[in-house]
Amino acid sequence: MPVKFYLNDSLPDQPEQGKDVADLFRNLVIKYKELHKNDLLDLSQHWATSDYVDNVTLCSMTLRSLLVQLKSNPTLFTYASKLVESNTPLKYEEDQFSGDLELNQECLCNDCKAHMLLVAQKLNMIAATLPVEPRFCNDVLDLVIKDVQNEEETIKQIPNWHIDNSDEIAKLLTPPLPPVTEPWNRLMDLLRRHGKVYCSNMFKQDWDSLGIELQQLIVQRFEDAINGGLLFPANNNNMNIVKQDQKDRTSKVHELRQVGNGFRVYFECDADAIYIALFGSKTIHHGKDQDADFRFAKAVVERMRQGIL
């Protein structure tokens, strides 16, 4: 079943000084559209809301007015309209919780009334929150349920998407890899979660000659690189794991490194694709030395991009 997001309207009347609600809403729509492009995420086509667009307010601005401000971008306006106008407001789904006593209690989130946010939590939704203040920028929101009669409080939590944590939400919603799988399939599954994967015949031949322990180490190193934000696109933020060609500054070739074991995998990585060219080690070179391997890898990737290798 697709994961559904609830557009959180449990917000203060005014945003923090310097925050523009219309800009924040536009960014929220844009980021959701980007998340939707990830084929591994099963996301709903619509956001749940507490009411129809004319009756939902976000920091005193109606959802309708926020949509209208997107009209300068017809494509984005159409997408946003489908997100919030083609759904049934969440309040009409409460009947399934008719015996739930918590829904009869007062519920607050960051000192704002949050009854519908509690309903969303019970329906296993994720809050989509405009980051109007720092207190709304947590990865989870605390829902404080107050039993006034018994003077008791219960805290429940709902996952919270606030734009800046889009990568974390994507990881949360991405199905886990199979626990046991052959290293090559595991590597392909891992990389394809982030973009297209192209491998040269030379790399595949080298891979097939490696022992399974070394193959598993390479898979783990690629996972380290992804978790460290070093791929898609490639960067030098941690050169103990990923390092760019230091001789040819025009080259986009990087190496995946394991210093202790001495293996290297030469590749280029764009925002949405990776081209794996060569395997190397302290004893295996495709040229006279490592610099020559970088040059050779650059030529291999150029041919791969042309569809030759």
For the sheet containing 112-113, what is the strand order? 43-48, 3-7, 126-128, 152-161, 140-147, 106-109, 112-113
Is 187 a residue whose pLDDT tops 90? Answer: yes
The percentage of the chain sitting over the pLDDT mark of 90, rounded to a whole number, equals 68
What is the model's pTM?
A: 0.63
Structure tokens at 302: 């150029």
Predicted local distance difference test score (pLDDT) of residue 283: 62
SS3 110: coil
**What's the sign of the alpha-carbon dihedral 225, 229, 232, 233?**
negative
**Predicted confidence (pLDDT) at residue 118 exceeds the cutoff of 80:** yes
pLDDT value for 147: 82
CB-CB contact of 5 with 46 (8 Å): no
pLDDT at position 180: 59
Distance CA 110, CA 117 (A): 12
What is the predicted pLDDT for the residue at 152? 85
pLDDT at residue 204 above 70? yes
Cβ(191)–Cβ(222) below 8 Å = yes
Structure tokens at 40: 């591994």
Mean pLDDT of 297-304: 94
pLDDT at 176: 74
Express each pLDDT in 50-108 by its tens digit.
999 999 999 999 999 999 999 999 999 999 999 998 766 876 555 667 677 888 889 99
User: β-strand 3-7 against 126-128: which pairing, if any?
Assistant: parallel
Helix (H, G, I), strand (E, B) or coil at 126: strand
**Of residues 249 and 19, more confidently modeled:** 19
On the question of pLDDT at 287 being above 60, the answer is: no
The percent of residues in the chain predicted with pLDDT above 70, rounded, is: 92
Task: Reply yes or no on whether the pLDDT at 10 is more than 70.
Answer: yes
Q: What is the pLDDT of residue 41?
A: 86
Name 43's Cβ contacts closer than 8 Å, sequence gap at least 6: 2, 3, 5, 32, 35, 36, 173
Residue 5: which pLDDT band, with cuts at 50, 70 and 90?
Answer: very high
pLDDT: which is higher, 201 or 38: 201
Q: Going along 28-151, which residue ranges are E strands?
A: 43-48, 57-58, 61-62, 106-109, 112-113, 126-128, 140-147
Query: Which is more confidently placed, 289 or 151?
Result: 151
Confidence of residue 230 (pLDDT cuts 50, 70, 90): very high
Q: What is the mean pLDDT of the chain?
A: 89
Which is higher by pLDDT, 39 or 177? 39
CA 10 to chain CA centroid, Å, is 24
- In single-letter form, the type of residue at position 53 comes to V
Rounded to an integer, the average pLDDT of 202-210 is 92
Tokens of 222: 């690629």
pLDDT of residue 99: 72
Average pLDDT over residues 248-263: 87
CA distance 4 to 7: 10
What is the predicted pLDDT for the residue at 149? 77
| Of 288 and 39, more confident | 39
